[in-house]
Structure 1
Amino acid sequence: MSTWRDRDERKRGRDDYDVPDGPPYSKRGRRSDPSGYRGRGGGAWKDERKVELSTEEKLVSLIERVGNDTKGLLENTIQSLADILIPEMDEYKDKIMQTIMRCAREYSEKMSIYSTLVGALNMKKSDIGEEFVDLLIEDLKSALTMNKFLSVKSLVRFLSDLTNARVVPLSSIVSLYDTLITVTYEPGISQLRSDWYTYVLLSSLPWVGGELQQKRQVELDRLLSAIGGYMSKRTTNYLPALQSWQSDRPYPQRDQLDLLWSQVLKMKEEGWKEGVLVRPYAPLESELSSAYGHPLPNIIIPGHTLDSAYPLPSTVFRCIGESDLPPHVGPSLPQSESINRYLITDIISSIINSHTGNRKACAHQLNVVIERLHHLPVEYMTAEVLFGFIFTLPVPPHSLLYYGSLTIELCKLRPATYPVILTQLIDILFSQLDHINFVVAERFAWWFSYHLSNYGYHWDWSKWVWCLQCAPDSPPCWFVKQVFERCSRLGSHEVFSELVPDDFKPLLTPPNDSYYLYAEDGVQGFEVAKQLVESMKAKVPLERLKEVLDGTDIGNNSEEQLLELKVSILTHCILHIGDKTISHCFTALHKFRSLLLELLETENAKLYCLSAVGEFFEENTQLHCLVIDRLVRQELIDNGSIIKWCFTSSNHPDFTSRLFWDILRSSFSRVNKSLLQCEKELEEIKEKLQKTTGLDELVDGTEDKQELEWKIQELEEKVEERSTEQKEVFLSTCRYLIESLCSHLSTCDEEGTDYETTWYTCITDNTRQLLIQYHTVYRQYSYSLESDCFGGGVDLRVQEIYKQFQGIL
């Protein structure tokens, strides 16, 4: 039999396997130069007709593209590909197997195609099937050990589907499932652990449930009974903290595991039928059954440790129903408890999660799925899944910018339909803002502003004119203000304001201008500030600047008042000098750092500095946050002072302001990253020292053991300092927020007014989000959190926040 390589030698023209159809390749070949220029070698231009892929690249391309062409029978295409791959196994076996595994993970909608391909290879050479199963098992063990939970889910599902291709016996899959379900019997473990392994098992059943029903019904019933027993005793009191909608309007937001359990049970009632998966192994049943199945070895699930970090529970976001689809759409939307709804959303989610580095490739693959499943409204479900990722609490799985840019790519690929669908969903979400989580509403405003910025800020605001009749602090008005502020910041405030209808202009924020307090005569300290700015521009020595500042006189007032005025003058002058670009501002802060450092020795002085920054950037929230971050990096102020300043009465904290929560979150992030970095450095130095035990020579030619021991001692002190700072920042923030909530509730109870205001909702939603986002940190201080923050006479309605937080742990 002639091999593919022989045929290729005889056939010099472009054949069916020569160049792939789409990303990540071009028509010139893989990673080709779009200009066609060869580079070195005389500056000649390449002859595109002579560019050919290597044999290995051709094999990879064939595996990636299998199933993309709808012409001909899919099972015949797979068998032909197996015939091509078999002769190449001696030389390219590792590459072929790794590519099949990667494609099964990245193109989850084609996983059954790759299962069938492995089955066809196993049918021709059983040792190939055995090596492939061994490779999968090694990867599964590694993923379990390293807590790569998404990989565990993908591998267990792939192994399950290989039973349909007769590569793995059903008995082995039953044993694997038994191992997974035994996790739920472990005493004293986190529900997160048992939830995840139950989810892995349930998410694999749609692929193999029918086979188990026919041939292993007793074992299947036993598994389902065990799962049902676990599901009946698990708690979901954390749901309000994770739901995007605060009510069942417009659609219920169910716990992910609960909903999947209902979908699997309904699938069982319907005879394990579904209408989404491609199953090319079915027509090849007789051929595949003749092959030898490879039993799986026993899998040991690693035990639970304090360092184990499991995926947090989540809710399934829903924003569309059958009634939301226009009549011309045609295909009906699968019901919420339909297994088809789960399979489609899972395929979309897998594609989005596996292409985070390439939005164009992701959009292309999503478009392929939309075209393949044209009998279902996949476009609507794609938009719903994307919004679900953006709105995920406590934080989205990936960058908001990725989801925003991916949405734009889909609009480019499907310009006739996708923008229309987005517009419809945006209107649905806007109409339900009264029932949406405050943190989710902030993200919605961010995404919408970013989306508008890519389309010239054009939007039909007239259909939202009804929101102008609402209270100024109502969610719709608040949302429009946030969108206007972000759009003004992303572009030109002047240009954007011209695009806003006159009715909406009262909601526009002022221009992002700075406010220099000492610009006009009559303000206390004007003369000193004027002289200081002139001296700074003249580039006089710092000693002279200090003399000018020391000349500040405020009469018979106290030294503390004099300090406050000095800090205010110096801070305003530095920011005024750098008030051109952010680079100028940072340069000015760096240049005059030593002057500020001399003044900011006390905590009060740091609070005065923060107040001055707040005055200067009152209308520019972006620069406000960036300058505060720069002051921390230059060690002029600390995170504890920032938290205290945020809640001081003189600052008049606006809890509904995005700026307030941005500053808090930035402080949390800085403290946490700083501690993690110190701990990482300490571990690296300890490992370095351990490697040199018993050796007298220098380490890396520069460091001896004594130097390493000094570094360890220094880093240990740093870690202790950072840990103390982290605890103080996290717990003090919690205390301030709880005190504010309790005070509000007490006032409302005395006055007999409704306590569930926008202000109250904003604090409760953001407090829950912070607690859950940093649950690993707060878990370390759970005793202090319970006794110092949520204990004693704290209102029961506030304690409910802590109960929801505990439910997740």
Structure 2
Amino acid sequence: MSYERRGGYRRRHRDDYDDRRRESYETPEEKLKTAIIKLGEVDAVEELPRLQKQIQEFEPLNVANVSEAFRIGVTEQPYKIPYYAALIRLLHDRPGEAISSEGPPLGRLVLEDFWKGFQAYLDQLAWREARLCIHFFAHLTVARLISPESMVALLQAFIAVLDEFGVSHGRAKRAALCAAEGLIIGGRSLKPYSATSVTEIIDAIQAFNETTASAKWLVQPTVKVFSEALAIANGDELLDTVLYALKALNDSDFTHTADSFPQPYTNLPAPPAELEPFNLPSVLVPPEIIELDALSTDVDAEDTAQVKKEEWPEYFLRLFDNDISPDPNTPAGYAVRTALLDIISIFEVNRKECARLLLEYPKWNLPGAFKPKPGAPTPSDVEPVAGKEWQLESTIIETILGALLVLPESSHKSVYYISLITELCKLSPSTVGPAVGKSIRKLYGSLSEGLDVEAARRFAEWFAVHMSNFGFQWVWKEWVPDLTLAVQHPRRTFMRRAIEFEIRLSYHERILKTLPEAMQASDAHTIPEQPPGPGFEYDDPANPHHDAAQSVLNLFRGRAKAEDVIAHLDSLKTTLEGAEDADTAPLSVNVDATVRSIAVQSLLHIGSRSFSHLLNAIERYLPLLRAITSSAEAKAGILSAAAAFWKGNRQMVGIVFDKLMQYQIVDPTDVVAWTFANRAGGLDAFEWDLMRAALDKANGRVVIARRRVAALRKEEDDTRARVRARAEDAAGAMEVDAEGDGNPAKQDEALVENPALATALKAFTSLTREQKAALSRTLEGFVACLCPADTDAGATTGMKPNAHTRTVITEAAWHNRAKWDNEEWNAWETWGWYRQFCRAYSPYLRNYSTTLYTVSFARFEGSTDPAAALLNKTWNVATGQDMS
């Protein structure tokens, strides 16, 4: 035993020694680089002179290494940009030496190398990095280290993008932000040089912004379905806010820039008079990269078009008043929100570090902008900034939720924003917790004020996940008075949706205990009476088909072969047809439906024990499922049977539908058609989730098939090129007859067509047709819901042609929404999902716009129906045909 212990000790000791030998040690250059990147860990202003001395005394100094550290700091820690500008300013100094006696100062050398990195970002169209570099250049312009004329030329290069023919919204928006934010920071030095250029830049951004009015109308987070108003009380669009801030600064000749951005370099001595400012080289913003697939000519050009994610205006929801969080329409408010959004975006890879930096943000902002934490010492020399003293935690939560609720989709996955808020609560529960509570109440209040249905769905997801992380603690009794509202009112819909998500994250009994007694009642329609679980329709002995279902169930339990089960179902069908009285018997199709339902529900009953049981059951009996789905009616039948079996657990309905599509038992078009056929008055979030999954499945298959074809085409082209090259080499080495086999063209023609490519092209064509069919069926379903063909012109807005749904058309009716019943709210929600369908799938809809419009909107020609007009307007905006 003692020997084993000593041996174990020696082994551990040897392993520790080997680990130490493998440890990497920083070189002096790496330590210098790290020091630059970590500028400001304690106090940036006090660290600047020390870091300046450390850089200037380093021997031998690698300028490229120092420049790379600056690039990392500027693009990954943008809140430090003003201090990096101050450091560059200090690196231009040569104490005790004449500027003209030696070469360029160190700061200039670093700046020249930094420019190379910026040019690389620009060539790669790395927009965020390029924009942050422009921030850096703008600060250096104010510090008089960059010439105003070259900075103006740089901003004008980005403004030129706005005049490009057919420029996409995303490209133009990013270019406009680069120019606008550079002007906001550097306008103090640029306007004295050329007021005309400053005005031209602002006018160009304004002109482009005016062309995006219709797109803004479609992505507002708060909507009034039939209103075309662009201004909303609780939201701000990104380009609108930057223009408001820019115009406010321009009106004051940019004298208030220092009230919005830290400028530590202004406290340093002015640069030597003999120091010439650095002239930024002229640039040209590279064009967008357009990828084309080299597909065979037997595929329609419409089908081969590349699908690129559509970029929309960015509306950020406001939750708090301007005295709590900064107004983004002001220069200071815009600067704060932009800085917070940059931190959130850059540190997506590390949410814990992101949460820490967000709570430390006041350290990098102007002193007095945010209220100090309770009990924190306040420096005597810091006075509150006039009109500020915002609440940091409320500002952060508002910014995160604004990014989460951007429509049609957020920049990052919802789970990132949700987990980031969780980390903030863990870091500072006493201050972040109240801000989260206030945000929940604000969002809940906006549900009855027109909060978009997609934003409401994300809100419910965040609420449920957040509650699950903190013991499901919420004051539900605050919302008990809302139980008197219509069942389909958005607030009651939110309650049901959030509780359904909570049950998925926990279990029914626990969530039930967190609710007040009024919400537990069955007539409250808030929580199901029973826990989510399977509902085998034929399990009741009183069911007339109980014995038949048990026989099928026993076959599944015994793992009978699919062929035997099919034969048993055929005999069962014969038995059921013969048992019915001829006068009262249902049609044979109903017998088929009954047998099909028995088979599907029995199979799902076998697979209900776990997810792996479900997959095993489906995979084992794929031949059976294909045998009973020979028609569209049969496919709809198995979807209905699956939905009936899992009616108590809607999550499982989506999972089963997904697996049936994955194994190609049903097509996405079948799921879409079933969803519209089984809607109860209107579409809700659950039905939209089913349709979204089907559309994503169809679109995803086309993307995969396109990539497969492109890869095979490239492989074939490479093969042909190699054969041609070998033939040309052989022809150059010896003389060949004109009709000889060495002819490169003959060699090329002799290549046998790649069978894999032919198969991939055929699959691509088939999947493209399926994609178009799914999109077409979805559009037809929405049109039939929102504007039925059997109604009089102007008499409908939704589900049924009656006086109630007619009232949704008018603006006055919206103000009378407190009296709406379920039909009106159903119609309103269905309109919301139609808007989400159009904006979320607009790239695909644009590919087939002509075909889809002809199929779905032809009957509206010359119609005066307001519902038809709204359908058309939404469609035209989504497909880029309404650019007003």
> Any conservation in 2 of the 1:441–1:479 contact (CA below 8 Å)?
yes
1:82 is aligned to 55
Which of residues 537, 545, 560 is equivalent to 2:589? 560
2:221 is aligned to 244
Give the whole-Å Cα distance in 1 for the aligned partners of 2:393 and 2:318.
14
Which of residues 40, 43, 53 is equivalent to 1:70? 43
1:296 is aligned to 280
Secondary structure at the aligned position of 2:695 is classed as helix
Paired residue type of 1:508:
I
Paired residue type of 2:803:
E
Q: What are the within-5 Å matches in structure 2 for residues 218-233 of structure 1?
A: 218-231=196-209, 233=210
2:369 is aligned to 375
> After alignment, is 661-670 or 582-591 more displaced?
582-591
Give the whole-Å Cα distance in 1 for the aligned partners of 2:232 and 2:485.
20
Which of residues 307, 314, 334 is equivalent to 2:326? 334
The offset of 1:138, in angstroms, is: 2.4
Which of residues 828, 831, 841 is equivalent to 1:774? 841
Matched, 1:389 2:403: yes
> After alignment, is 415-424 or 206-215 more displaced?
206-215
Secondary structure at the aligned position of 1:792 is classed as helix
Q: What are the within-5 Å matches in structure 2 for residues 684-703 of structure 1?
A: 684-695=711-722
> Any conservation in 2 of the 1:567–1:596 contact (CA below 8 Å)?
no
> Any conservation in 2 of the 1:241–1:765 contact (CA below 8 Å)?
no
1:745 is aligned to 797
1:551 is aligned to 571
Deviations for 1:211-243, whole angstroms, at most 9, x for unmatched residues?
Answer: 112333343234334444555x53402333211
Give the whole-Å Cα distance in 2 for the aligned partners of 1:44 and 1:198.
56
Matched, 1:458 2:430: no
Q: Which is greater in Rg?
A: 2
The offset of 1:676, in angstroms, is: 0.8
Give the whole-Å Cα distance in 2 for the aligned partners of 1:379 and 1:739.
46
Matched, 1:599 2:628: yes
In 2 relative to 1, CA 530–40 (structure 1 residues): closer, same or farther, beyond 3 Å?
farther
In 2 relative to 1, CA 240–714 (structure 1 residues): closer, same or farther, beyond 3 Å?
same
Matched, 1:101 2:116: no
> Any conservation in 2 of the 1:764–1:801 contact (CA below 8 Å)?
no
The offset of 1:733, in angstroms, is: 0.3
Give the whole-Å Cα distance in 2 for the aligned partners of 1:317 and 1:305.
32
1:286 is aligned to 270
2:755 is aligned to 710
Give the whole-Å Cα distance in 2 for the aligned partners of 1:345 and 1:88.
41
The offset of 1:522, in angstroms, is: 4.0
Deviations for 1:439-471, whole angstroms, at most 9, x for unmatched residues?
Answer: 111111110010000011011112222212222
In 2 relative to 1, CA 599–94 (structure 1 residues): closer, same or farther, beyond 3 Å?
farther
Paired residue type of 1:612:
A
Give the whole-Å Cα distance in 2 for the aligned partners of 1:440 and 1:655.
18
> After alignment, is 376-385 or 742-751 more displaced?
742-751
> Any conservation in 2 of the 1:111–1:158 contact (CA below 8 Å)?
yes
Which of residues 189, 197, 203 is equivalent to 2:181? 203
Paired residue type of 2:314:
S
The offset of 1:346, in angstroms, is: 0.4
Q: What are the within-5 Å matches in structure 2 for residues 34-183 of structure 1?
A: 41-42=14-15, 53-55=26-28, 57-70=30-43, 73=46, 75-83=48-56, 87=59, 89-90=61-62, 94-121=64-91, 123-124=105-106, 126-143=108-125, 148-183=126-161
Give the whole-Å Cα distance in 1 for the aligned partners of 2:674 and 2:443.
35
Paired residue type of 2:313:
P
In 2 relative to 1, CA 150–464 (structure 1 residues): closer, same or farther, beyond 3 Å?
same
> Any conservation in 1 of the 2:142–2:188 contact (CA below 8 Å)?
no
Deviations for 1:628-674, whole angstroms, at most 9, x for unmatched residues?
Answer: 111111121111111111122xx244634322011111111111111
Give the whole-Å Cα distance in 2 for the aligned partners of 1:458 and 1:289.
65
In 2 relative to 1, CA 674–747 (structure 1 residues): closer, same or farther, beyond 3 Å?
closer
The offset of 1:294, in angstroms, is: 4.0
> Any conservation in 1 of the 2:67–2:111 contact (CA below 8 Å)?
no
2:775 is aligned to 730
> After alignment, is 611-620 or 430-439 more displaced?
430-439
> Any conservation in 2 of the 1:518–1:526 contact (CA below 8 Å)?
yes
Give the whole-Å Cα distance in 1 for the aligned partners of 2:44 and 2:182.
29
Report the TM-score when normalising by structure 1.
0.86
Give the whole-Å Cα distance in 2 for the aligned partners of 1:476 and 1:652.
20
> Any conservation in 2 of the 1:675–1:719 contact (CA below 8 Å)?
yes
Give the whole-Å Cα distance in 2 for the aligned partners of 1:42 and 1:204.
54
Deviations for 1:736-755, whole angstroms, at most 9, x for unmatched residues?
Answer: 11110113527766536554
Secondary structure at the aligned position of 1:287 is classed as coil
Matched, 1:760 2:827: yes
> After alignment, is 661-670 or 784-793 more displaced?
784-793
Paired residue type of 1:585:
L
2:500 is aligned to 485
Percent of matched pairs sharing the same residue: 20
Secondary structure at the aligned position of 1:361 is classed as helix
> Any conservation in 2 of the 1:599–1:605 contact (CA below 8 Å)?
yes
> After alignment, is 516-525 or 350-359 more displaced?
516-525
In 2 relative to 1, CA 167–135 (structure 1 residues): closer, same or farther, beyond 3 Å?
farther
Deviations for 1:668-716, whole angstroms, at most 9, x for unmatched residues?
Answer: 11111111111111111222222222435999xxxx9968722221111
2:815 is aligned to none
Secondary structure at the aligned position of 2:478 is classed as helix
Which of residues 649, 660, 676 is equivalent to 1:631? 660
2:704 is aligned to 677
> After alignment, is 105-114 or 185-194 more displaced?
185-194
The offset of 1:201, in angstroms, is: 1.0
Alignment RMSD (CA, Å): 3.2
2:874 is aligned to 801
> Any conservation in 2 of the 1:166–1:288 contact (CA below 8 Å)?
no
Paired residue type of 2:612:
S
> After alignment, is 661-670 or 183-192 more displaced?
183-192
Q: What are the within-5 Å matches in structure 2 for residues 410-449 of structure 1?
A: 410-435=424-449, 436-449=451-464
Aligned residues, how many? Answer: 750
In 2 relative to 1, CA 229–666 (structure 1 residues): closer, same or farther, beyond 3 Å?
closer
In 2 relative to 1, CA 73–256 (structure 1 residues): closer, same or farther, beyond 3 Å?
same
The offset of 1:502, in angstroms, is: 0.4
Report the TM-score when normalising by structure 2.
0.79
Give the whole-Å Cα distance in 1 for the aligned partners of 2:725 and 2:509.
63
Give the whole-Å Cα distance in 1 for the aligned partners of 2:12 and 2:775.
56
Matched, 1:215 2:193: yes
Which of residues 508, 527, 541 is equivalent to 1:508? 527
2:423 is aligned to 409
1:260 is aligned to 242
Give the whole-Å Cα distance in 1 for the aligned partners of 2:513 and 2:856.
48
The offset of 1:575, in angstroms, is: 0.8
Give the whole-Å Cα distance in 1 for the aligned partners of 2:172 and 2:318.
25
Give the whole-Å Cα distance in 2 for the aligned partners of 1:663 and 1:748.
23
Paired residue type of 2:832:
D
> Any conservation in 1 of the 2:683–2:826 contact (CA below 8 Å)?
yes
Give the whole-Å Cα distance in 2 for the aligned partners of 1:652 and 1:169.
65
Matched, 1:528 2:543: no
Deviations for 1:113-144, whole angstroms, at most 9, x for unmatched residues?
Answer: 2233344456326433322212211221221x
Give the whole-Å Cα distance in 1 for the aligned partners of 2:706 and 2:314.
30
> After alignment, is 341-350 or 632-641 more displaced?
632-641
Give the whole-Å Cα distance in 2 for the aligned partners of 1:270 and 1:782.
47
> After alignment, is 74-83 or 713-722 more displaced?
74-83
Give the whole-Å Cα distance in 1 for the aligned partners of 2:12 and 2:830.
60
In 2 relative to 1, CA 229–602 (structure 1 residues): closer, same or farther, beyond 3 Å?
closer
> After alignment, is 653-662 or 771-780 more displaced?
653-662
The offset of 1:495, in angstroms, is: 1.2
In 2 relative to 1, CA 71–195 (structure 1 residues): closer, same or farther, beyond 3 Å?
closer
The offset of 1:314, in angstroms, is: 1.6
> Any conservation in 2 of the 1:133–1:294 contact (CA below 8 Å)?
no
